[in-house]
Amino acid sequence: MQQKKNKPKDIQVQKNSNKIIFWILGGCLALLLLGGVFFGGIAYWSYKKVKKDIKENQRRFEQAQNQAQNSSPKTGASAITNQISIPEEPAAMEETYRGGVPDDIYPPAVSEKAIGFVKKAYAKGGKNYIEIDYIQWLTGDVAEKAMREDGECPKKGECIVLNDYYIRNQNPLIRTFEVASDAEILAHDFSSYDANANWNESWTFTRFSNYFNRSADNRYWDSVPFHVEIGNNQMLKITEQYIP
């Protein structure tokens, strides 16, 4: 009889134990869920912050890049062009010239080398002057290419560059330069008909201008170019180009 009485109690104790275990497990599960939500929220917040920082840094980088581009010197279509094979003559310009060179392009003491046909040589106001028409003196493959472009040779086929040089004169601008008092002039006097005469003889400007003006009528100078060196808006050296 005593055993029968104790049996309901044991059943009740077991039920209570099950309830306790259930609540403990439920509590642990709830804690796990809350922990997951908490840590998931922190991870999501961190992700959003990192993403926001990346966008902000990218925006700042783009702003800095745009500022650097806007502050850098700009080059237009009129900037120096790298020619592949044929050098270009100095372009004709409409600005006010002093001695044939724009004041805002060539600062004092900056030298320039060019080649061209001398048009006039004269003295005025106690100073000596030369007027010159710049040209291009081309040789070899560059000369052949220029002749084809200018229609002097067919586009394809044989092209003969006579004496291996070609003169190109695309710019009719006449430039006027003062000749420095100590300028070096190297030329050749054909009037002597001396086969032993030396090329690149040193001449005075007076001799050069007299010879030039005396020979101008026979148009000899139309085909004889001179190399010139310019410094401080003055001709410092003049050298006759040999023509075969």
* C-beta atoms surrounding 121 within 10 Å: 23
Q: Which residue has the tokens 């009719």?
A: 172
Residue 115, pLDDT above cutoff 70: yes
Residue 106, pLDDT above cutoff 60: no
pLDDT: which is higher, 106 or 40 = 40
Residue 185 near residue 202, CB atoms below 8 Å: yes
pLDDT: which is higher, 88 or 167 = 167
Our CA dihedral for 140, 143, 148, 154, rounded to 10 degrees, sits at: -50
Residue 179 near residue 231, CB atoms below 8 Å: no
Query: Which residue from 36, 200, 225, 230 is spatially nearest to 119, judged by alpha carbons?
Result: 225
Looking at residue 200, its pLDDT comes to 83
pLDDT: which is higher, 92 or 136 = 136
Rounded to two decimals, the pTM is 0.53
pLDDT: which is higher, 10 or 127 = 127
Looking at residue 81, its pLDDT comes to 39
Residue 123 near residue 169, CB atoms below 8 Å: no
Query: Which residue from 235, 20, 229 is spatially nearest to 120, judged by alpha carbons?
Result: 235
Instruction: Record the tokens describing residue 36, joined without a space.
Output: 């997951």
Q: Which segments of 140-180 does DSSP mark as H helices, in order?
A: 140-149
**What's the average model confidence in pLDDT over 205-219?**
81
The domains of the chain are located at 1-67, 97-240
Instruction: Record the tokens describing residue 233, joined without a space.
Output: 């808006």
Residue 14, pLDDT above cutoff 90: no
- pLDDT per residue over 141-164, tens digit each? 999 999 999 988 887 888 888 999
**What's the average model confidence in pLDDT over 98-109?**
49
Residue 28, pLDDT above cutoff 80: no
| 166, β-bridge pairs | 138
Residue 236, pLDDT above cutoff 70: yes
Rg of the chain over Cα atoms, rounded to whole angstroms, equals 46
**What percentage of the chain exceeds 90 in pLDDT?**
34
Residue 76, pLDDT above cutoff 50: no
Query: Which residue from 93, 90, 97 is spatially nearest to 228, judged by alpha carbons?
Result: 90
Three-state secondary structure of 221-238: HHCCEEEEEEECCEEEEE
**What's the average model confidence in pLDDT over 195-215?**
82
- pLDDT per residue over 30-74, tens digit each? 777 776 767 776 766 666 666 676 767 677 767 766 766 665 544
Looking at residue 79, its pLDDT comes to 41
